[in-house]
Chain A
Amino acid sequence: MLYAILCYAHEETVFAWSKEEEATVMEKLQAVQAPLAKAGRLGPVGRLMPTTAATTVRKGRDEPLVLDGPFAETKEVLLGFYTAEFDSLDDAVAFSKELSAVNPGSSSYEIRPFYVFHPNEIKTAEGGSS
């Protein structure tokens, strides 16, 4: 089964990390992902920019409304996501626990199975940046 693992966190705290703190956390997260990537079971992994860079298109009565910011004002926001293949939910839970253990910024991981809609690939210079 394919899973999306969605990482939620307190944005204010995560964006208060110093460069060193950030680098340490990223390195540890990288180590957790490495075995999955090596087995060819890790799909795209994304880090979301701050919610201040977000725009929401919301269904209005006539035209959809274009709003600044994320959809709902919540304390915890979606900060990043992983896509990967796991044999069972237990494996996906175990992986999320490993991520959680090395990421002090995360407050929860939502595990959502997904279907591949289109296995598209982005082919731009930006697509490869981390």
Chain B
Amino acid sequence: MTDIAWIELALTAARPQALGALLRYFRDLDTAEEAFQEACLRAIRTWPDKGPPRDPAAWLIFVGRNSGVDQIRKRAKNQPLPEEAAFSDLSDAEEDIADRLDNAHYRDDILRLMFICCHPDLPNTQQIALALRIVCGLTVQQIARAFLVSESAMEQRITRAKGRVAKAQRGEGAVGFETPDVHERNARLQTVASMVYLVFNEGYSSGIGNPDSAAFCDEAIRLSRLLLRIFPAEPEMMGLSALMLLQHSRAGSRFDEAGQIVLLEDQDRGRWDRRLIDEALAMLDKAIRHRKPGPYQVQAAISALHARVASPSDTDWGEITLLYELLEKLSPSPVVSLNRAVALSKLKGADAALELIEPLAEKLDGYFYFHGVRGGLLMQTGRSDEARIAFDRAITLANSPAECAHIRMQLDRLGAGAGAGGG
């Protein structure tokens, strides 16, 4: 690794804390970003000679703050009327220098920065793009490639998202800059956790054939570790972290060489990443000690039951079914019920599962997996004609060529099976 590569890593690592503090000083995302950018440029100029500072984030905050203040002063000179608000913010900033070193604010700074990126006015894709750009520091080009859009289109999308955030910050319900109380902090943490999972899922679902978006998974895991370091006793954050680590541990075996989906039971478990699994199991053990179950912990526990056994035939479907029941109680949704049905089919057969999913038909009619699962269950019970109709419906709803190909394969099996039965 070269000096510059190393400095860039250090800058990326310090980014959320430094940018979060600068946002608190300047109360404006663009000003904070500019100030951070300027501090980074100076770091690249001076660190190779003088060596990196002991606390890169503190250095960047200090240098960034000064350069931001300079910018505001320059701008103020060029304007006929100095902005009162800008100067009152600056006096806050002067006072805040004192706590620059004691880090009293830093976890709220990071949380606020992330929270602002997932404003409820923003659609999911914009939340993801904004978080990757602002918190993770990915370039617009990297994000554009992952979303398969042009760089200028992504630039526009991010600018628009920032505009919405800025507008929201001027209106009612703006994100406050004072230290949040316990309830506010918890609410922010929950929102941010789901944004992190959104980032992960974007990478997870479109990862194949697109390494740019596969990198989102690593970013999401990095964000969850960051959140855990600043909120070390939050069992749901541990659960989310464990869940993502477990899902990511299978990244190398979820698709075959031709890019076809490999189902969990057919995956080569020797290729699962043991290091990620071990870390996830450690996280989950810690979470469970708190005796405060939540949806992420339960999903991680389900995933862990797969990771713990060497062969799919050893899977504890009884325990998995119970965990899905618990998940249904904690966060009821037809998709969770659908997953419970799959587990139940392994335990009690396809008929029991079909009975469970029939009432979901209306709610999940537009959902690819529903028809895929239903087709599979119907196939198992020998109702080939109905299975074919379900698979056909699934194909029209497939989200990717790989999903489409997977259902085609099922249809082929159905054809072969019917032929053998008839002959």
Contact = CB atoms under 8 A, between A and B. Distances in A.
B226 interface: yes
Contacts of A62: none
Interface residues of B, number: 29
A13 B9 contact: yes
Interface stretch (B163-171, B256-264, B274-282, B319-327): B274-282
Given A75-B55, A129-B274, A52 B1 contact: no
Given A13-B13, A68-B286, A104 B1 contact: yes
Interface in A27-84: 49-53, 55, 66-69, 75
Contact of B1 (A21, A66, A75): A21
A73 to B, nearest CB: 8
B283 interface: yes
Nearest to A49: B279
A109 to B, nearest CB: 16
Interface string A5-22: 000001111011110010
Interface residues of A, number: 25
B222 A15 contact: yes
B286 A12 contact: no
B286 A53 contact: yes
Among A16, A25, A55, find the residue whose CB has the most chain B CB atoms closer than 10 A: A16
A12 B283 contact: no
Interface of B: 1, 5-6, 9-10, 12-14, 54-56, 218, 222, 225-226, 228-229, 232-233, 238, 241, 274-275, 278-279, 282-283, 286, 289
**Closest 6 pairs between A and B when the two form their complex, measured CB to CB:** A69-B232, A12-B13, A52-B228, A53-B282, A68-B232, A13-B13
28 contacts: A10-B13, A12-B226, A13-B10, A13-B13, A15-B225, A16-B9, A16-B12, A16-B13, A18-B218, A49-B279, A50-B225, A50-B279, A52-B229, A52-B232, A52-B238, A52-B283, A55-B286, A68-B233, A68-B238, A69-B232, A69-B233, A75-B54, A75-B55, A104-B1, A104-B6, A126-B278, A129-B275, A129-B278
